[in-house]
Structure 1
């Protein structure tokens, strides 16, 4: 670069007298030892002017948060701050010249490295800035998710809420605008980092020496290991199955059959987490099978088994009739069956929401033996579970929102798996979901009133979806949010902006695990029902129920302190070069 293209910073003597100065292009130039050094004037942590900092022994300290930088290279001593952009400096005839182009820039490789470091150190601002930088650089969202999934599954804690949130947010990205996608990725990655904080790396045990064992025998071995809570043996069998080349769907059937050998493990979380792990595997590809699926093994160490719990045995014994139903189904060949008579879906949903669990068990058995598709039953069970949330009365204990939420997300996970699986042993999961809905019945006594959409009909055709966000700036606007959403759905307007706004109502909060589950499951089930539009009378009502249930749940859990989205906004403003402070 020619000298005339460099920027003059004045004479070296003047610089030594002033100590530091800012020149064209926002570059801070410092007198350093017998020469000069230059860095971008914006502190890479949060943008404070570095020329207002102090330089001592070659270390430049920002006075806002005390981030420290090597003045020559720009490298930071603090993991929560990025490296400052350093500029080449030369002195000719006593005059200081600065190259306007930084010596290095934040490449995609460097951004990926910073994302990994943010995850490892559990530093939210680093994660946020890496996500913003990668998205703005055109990196695919799945590549960003891959970094989070591979990091989270490499730890001894195994698959849990953080990885579930990240996978759920990956699933809803198509429903969100650019800002929403950045927030969704950021939330998911931060929760992975938090879940992994302080955890040791996980070391895989390795497969058995021979991979010639038949898939059926491997499945039997795996179920036996899970039965006796031998998670290490289960891991070795699993890794042997992966080495043998079993497909993702075959592996899912093997693992989930073991999960459903006992009733409603850990309140439905075990099945739900398994389903999410397989969704992550679908996104990352088969090369990630070992590390992702092995991360599920800690879940199998000591899960609670609902058949051992009092409310599954008394005042009505539900364990014995369920076992009898499973035996009956086992003796009946369900393969290749198709329905030979009409099936009243509305009546089935009403049955699920009633208080006759033995009749419900029989009806599910009859439906399966009558050729009704298991995925169809799963879809209706999920609808009934959503109805529990849509009609959950706010006079209930606040913690009871989790009870109806767990049932809904479990039922959704079962629905997703049965859309892909024809394994009869997984049909047992339908019964567990139905009984969980039955156990939640008192949470609809009394039932919450239907949404008061008439109050919002006037003007809803022109209303901005931002009005919903304004409504949720106040606490406990549960019925109001339901009424607003119901009126919007009845207005005939495009639903896409509403789905995006519901996403933002989640992502602008410091939301906890279950709220992420609620939004993702509701959107997925909404899509399933909308795909049937025009083929079933129930479809529109069911799709609307999903969004009303989602709005009620999110409204009940808002607003929060909103610290996490604030951090994400800072990262985005820094990327765009905005000032985060005002000088005197």
Structure 2
């Protein structure tokens, strides 16, 4: 209920003389026609004092960004602003009285509507204020993510970087404090809005008239469509499979088998984006399958196929031995003779990682094939491939061309995606994806020549014991602190301090920036792989070193790409301060 506390705004005649005044509670009162009107003094756009604006014909205009409001209702004429909170006013014996409580408050329903409007109109401040309001109202983060995912997948652009960022940020929310979670959601949603800006809504083609075909037959049709780059046919087959009640696992195998029929599509992005879509589907529920999965089919219209690229064929032909290996695996044959004894001994994980990082790709292919035929868990191989890919980032020398950071990043995020899928799938044809990741690691070998120096932690050990993790943020206020960040994180890991604080701080080092797409991928993949290795602590000798490698790799990559302008987090901070009722300008 609204309070009946009334605040005096003084004599009406004096108000007419002054035009406007600010009273207790930060309420701006204006002389209007024969009486008065009152609104919250903070412009709901960015908080500028409205009493410094102008009132003409009942329209109150803020002089900062010229947002316009009906002074009586507070309603805005500008979609990028919000309605101002208005207050009841009464005149008694020539004195103006203002109700201390506004006429209305922002409900969850209205906040959801504003979030949808912010996405549709690509207005960052509207998105930020909606996210802050929803979080403070206790709405679950997955409900907020769901709004963004369903909007993004309804656009003709299909699944791309914006949706991938939102999906990745949803995955890391448990590692972040409250402000970090707000920033993560805000970044993801803004990138979804940008990706859909100016594009027409997506219209699904619909399923085939009959869903009598088996899921196995539909999977064959789907592979055939992808083979000839028929994205529209693939969409219809996919929607038919969904209508036939294929499970999410069956749909994932159907789609990813088709993706792995050709080598390392679009530099790994195609597999990575598919994985993020299925992780999202898992999070927000199978009822969104049509919208989410159909958004992937545009990726299949013309992806690059690495077996057609020169560096996969020369100076070492990797295409032919890979195809031969896949045929042998399907037939259940070992790639070399008398290999069965090799699996009577424990698998040497450390030696395998070094093999991946070496320059003998044909030997790597043989070893992987024999390991799979010998019964090793494919997800275990995937985890080690992701570790080797992270090592490439740890060993990446800063004298390389700056753009080459993307090469090692793409390999790592692809390897992570393969790991996640093989933890969920037993489909043998997906094992081909392991080999593509291993060869990508081989192709990145020259980016570790020379190898980056090992992190120098000694200079930071004393400071770690005395200072909080925010010292890392101060370090990253300067450009190209790659080796320094690696040294700091190494010192922190060796100090025995709580890793939880470090994960949160690394997140904030990302989220306080106007970060590019790949930095979001880096943080999410590194944190996920870190968790996988930490879960093995005490059972595998390599686990502690591997977990540390993930965080060092993450710190090096983020340091290489910081600082930036930081406009987006500034907007989010304004939204949060407005929600809390803070004054943003001293003139108030």
TM range (shorter): over 0.9
Q: Is the 8 A contact 2:3 2:100 kept in 1?
A: no
Number of the residue aligned with 2:139: 139
Q: Secondary structure at the match of 2:69?
A: strand
What's the CA shift for 1:213?
1.0
Q: Secondary structure at the match of 2:201?
A: coil
What's the CA shift for 1:4?
7.4
Render the CA deviation track for 1:32-66: whole Å, top value 9, x for unaligned: 22222211111111112211111111110011111
Residues in 2 aligned to 1:173 and 1:47: alpha-carbon distance in whole angstroms: 28
Residues in 2 aligned to 1:243 and 1:444: alpha-carbon distance in whole angstroms: 49
Q: Secondary structure at the match of 2:465?
A: coil
**Pairwise mapping of residues 273-292 of structure 1 onto structure 2 (< 5 A)?**
273-292=273-292
Indicate yes or no: 2:503 matched with 1:491.
no
Q: Is the 8 A contact 1:326 1:428 kept in 2?
A: yes
Q: Is the 8 A contact 1:265 1:304 kept in 2?
A: yes
Q: Is the 8 A contact 1:340 1:370 kept in 2?
A: no
Identify if the C-alpha distance between structure 1 residues 3 and 445 changes in structure 2 by more than 3 Å, giving closer, same or farther: closer
What's the CA shift for 1:339?
5.9
Number of the residue aligned with 1:385: 389
Q: Secondary structure at the match of 1:271?
A: helix
Residues in 2 aligned to 1:4 and 1:211: alpha-carbon distance in whole angstroms: 63
Q: Is the 8 A contact 1:171 1:520 kept in 2?
A: yes
Number of the residue aligned with 2:293: 293
What's the CA shift for 1:340?
4.7
TM-score where L is the length of structure 1? 0.97
Q: Is the 8 A contact 1:522 1:547 kept in 2?
A: yes
Q: Which among 398, 422, 426 is matched to residue 422 of structure 1?
A: 426
**Pairwise mapping of residues 450-469 of structure 1 onto structure 2 (< 5 A)?**
450-469=454-473
Render the CA deviation track for 1:140-187: whole Å, top value 9, x for unaligned: 111111111111000000000000001101100111111111111111
Query: Which runs of 5 or more structure 1 residues have no equivalent in the other structure?
Result: none
Q: Is the 8 A contact 2:473 2:505 kept in 1?
A: yes
Residues in 1 aligned to 2:586 and 2:279: alpha-carbon distance in whole angstroms: 46
Number of the residue aligned with 1:510: 514
Indicate yes or no: 2:453 matched with 1:449.
yes
RMSD over aligned CA atoms reads: 1.7
**Pairwise mapping of residues 481-560 of structure 1 onto structure 2 (< 5 A)?**
481-560=485-564
Number of the residue aligned with 2:308: 308
What's the CA shift for 1:385?
0.3
Number of the residue aligned with 1:66: 66
Identify if the C-alpha distance between structure 1 residues 403 and 68 changes in structure 2 by more than 3 Å, giving closer, same or farther: same
Identify if the C-alpha distance between structure 1 residues 15 and 455 changes in structure 2 by more than 3 Å, giving closer, same or farther: closer
Residues in 2 aligned to 1:2 and 1:547: alpha-carbon distance in whole angstroms: 51
Query: Which runs of 5 or more structure 2 residues have no equivalent in the other structure?
Result: 335-339
Indicate yes or no: 2:459 matched with 1:473.
no
Number of the residue aligned with 1:370: 374
TM-score where L is the length of structure 2? 0.97
Q: Is the 8 A contact 1:166 1:188 kept in 2?
A: yes
Residues in 2 aligned to 1:473 and 1:435: alpha-carbon distance in whole angstroms: 36
**Pairwise mapping of residues 388-427 of structure 1 onto structure 2 (< 5 A)?**
388-427=392-431
Residues in 1 aligned to 2:488 and 2:514: alpha-carbon distance in whole angstroms: 23
Residues in 2 aligned to 1:555 and 1:11: alpha-carbon distance in whole angstroms: 60
Residues in 1 aligned to 2:161 and 2:343: alpha-carbon distance in whole angstroms: 39
What's the CA shift for 1:463?
2.7
Indicate yes or no: 2:94 matched with 1:90.
no
Q: Secondary structure at the match of 1:458?
A: helix
Q: How many residues align?
A: 582
